[in-house]
Amino acid sequence: MIEFSNYDILRNLLFATQWTILLSLAAFIGGSSVALTLTALRLTRNKVVHSLIRGYVELFQGTPLLMQMFLCFFGLSMLGYEISAWGAAILSLTFFTSAFLVEIWRGCIDTLPKGQWEASRCLGMSFLQILRYIILPQAIRVAVAPTVGFSVQVIKGTALASVIGFVELTKVGTMLNNATFEPFKVFTLVAIIYFLLCYPLSLYSKVLEKKFNGSR
Amino acid sequence: MLHFADLLQYSDVFFSGLLTTVELTVLTTILGIAVGTSCASIRQYGNKTSQRVVSIYVELIRNTPFIVQLFFIFFGLPALGVRLSPWEASMIALTINLGAYSTEIIRAGLASISKGQIEAAKVLGLTFRQTLTRVIFIPAFEKIYPALVSQCIIVMLGSAVISQISVEDLTYAANLVQSRNFRAFESYLVTAALYLGLSILLRFAFNSIGKRLFVYREAP
């Protein structure tokens, strides 16, 4: 039997943290690209597109992330599409992230008074010009703080990938727990690492919120 | 390709899982909001030390994943001599989780009640109790009610994780069924639909409670 010193435990956990960070980044990039596309589609003011996006958001916000992961991982492979735990985790986290981001960004665009659209149109600006010069500069300022805040949810969401067997921080935590029988120590360390990843982002989001609220 | 009929014989498994999830949700919603209300009051009106303790609690919970909190309580605490059943551990974990999030939400509501409003209540001769309920808490809750409802639903969906410490909830039922008949996609699809139905139902229930709770506005 291998003995695990405190150093070994920490070393393994920190190694696994890399995968948590990588998965978070992949999910965030994937999620925001999908959300960006959906937000752009929403701007076309097509009723059918609106209700489809509404349904998409409702579907992924109304079901547990864990269930989405199970569906992507076990479900898809049962249907004949082979997918790795890594692929399933990214896929489901992308759905999850985009469903929340599209809703956050919708709010940011909707807070701008309607008169701005009308005024820009009266000034003879094209749709793209309105977006480029009027709407986006303001909407992005409002959107940064809640988006950074949501990235914390993405990092925490990656912990669920441990359930489908993706070896990241939480999974290594349970594995080390099984090897060392020191759950208190192991899970305290795991929690501390997550906290160190998430807390700076939470703080930064709060700072941004104050900054942009003050300037308006 | 999909065979939903194979799930029919397991409908009682799904039903009992659903019941467990609903039970836990109702219990932890009540307890969690109670914890949140107390902690929010401390954050808003308490002294410096207690304010700091509450904000440490809130930040610790908000910045760690629920599954780690659950594992810490279920696997970690027995090392300190606190032995909990899976059911107890998940109830405590869910309550602590919702408590932290609702503290932040309810505090925002309390912060929106201006001092002048409380002073006005005093001048008008309202008792302490009346001031507390009618001037502070009900208006504060009315402002943050939608956010609170969303958070409760998020916690309900998050409770899917407790299947990992073998609480026999809806997700546990889905895992059990798919391990019996190997219809993973169908089983998880039905379960996801049940969760979706549950979250729609929960929102509906909360909204009708809200209508009762905040009815005072309609009085002449």
* DSSP SS3 for B125: coil
CATH superfamily to which A6-210 belongs = MetI-like (1.10.3720.10)
* Six-digit token string for B183: 């219809």
Nearest to A62 among B63, B160, B199 (CB): B199
CATH number of B8-218: 1.10.3720.10
Nearest Cα residue to A39 out of A117, A101, A123: A101
DSSP classification of residue B46:
S
| Alpha-carbon distances, residue A90 vs A86, A95, A143 (angstroms) | 6, 9, 23
d(CA A154, CA A138): 25
| Closest chain B residue to the Cα of A164, Cα to Cα | B164
d(CA A32, CA A41): 14
Best of A78, A93, A164, A174 to disrupt the B interface (most B CBs within 10 Å) is A78
* Six-digit token string for B55: 């904000």
Residue-level pLDDT at A1: 61
Q: Are B17 and B169 in contact (CB under 8 A)?
A: yes
Which residue ranges in chain B fall short of pLDDT 70? 1, 216-220
Residue-level pLDDT at A190: 96
Nearest Cα residue to A100 out of A53, A166, A42: A53
| Closest chain B residue to the Cα of A177, Cα to Cα | B75
Residue-level pLDDT at B70: 96
Q: Which residues contact B113 (CB under 8 A, 6 or more apart)?
A: B135, B136, B139, B140
Domain ranges for chain B: 8-218
Residue-level pLDDT at B79: 83
DSSP classification of residue B160:
G
CA dihedral A69, A73, A76, A78 (to 10 degrees): -130
Residue-level pLDDT at A114: 87
DSSP classification of residue B219:
-
d(CA A196, CA A14): 12
CB atoms closer than 10 angstroms to residue A138: 15
Residue-level pLDDT at B9: 86
Residue-level pLDDT at A3: 77
Residue-level pLDDT at B215: 76
Q: Tokens 């004949």 appear where?
A: A80
Phi, psi of B9 (to 5 degrees): -65, -15
Domain ranges for chain A: 6-210
CB atoms closer than 10 angstroms to residue B12: 9
In this structure, chain B runs to a length of: 220
Nearest to B195 among A67, A76, A187 (CB): A67
How many angstroms from the chain centroid is the CA of residue B51?
Answer: 22
In tens, the pLDDT along A115-127 reads 998 999 999 999 8
| Closest chain A residue to the Cα of B156, Cα to Cα | A64
* Six-digit token string for B206: 């909360």
Nearest to A71 among B62, B160, B189 (CB): B189
Residue-level pLDDT at B217: 57
Residue-level pLDDT at A45: 79
Q: Output the tens digit of pLDDT for each of chain A's 216 residues.
A: 677 888 889 999 999 999 999 999 999 999 999 999 999 998 887 899 999 999 999 999 999 999 999 999 988 887 788 889 999 999 999 999 999 999 999 999 888 888 998 999 999 999 889 989 998 899 988 899 999 999 999 999 999 999 999 999 999 999 999 998 889 999 999 999 999 999 999 999 999 988 877 554
Residue-level pLDDT at A26: 96
Q: Which residues contact B1 (CB under 8 A, 6 or more apart)?
A: A79
Please give the ipTM for the structure prediction. 0.90
Query: Inter-chain contact A184–B195, Cβ cutoff 8 Å?
Result: no
CA dihedral B25, B26, B28, B33 (to 10 degrees): 120
Q: Are A90 and A72 in contact (CB under 8 A)?
A: no
In this structure, chain A runs to a length of: 216
Residue-level pLDDT at A200: 96
Q: Is B71 on the interface with A (CB under 8 A)?
A: yes
Residue-level pLDDT at B27: 95
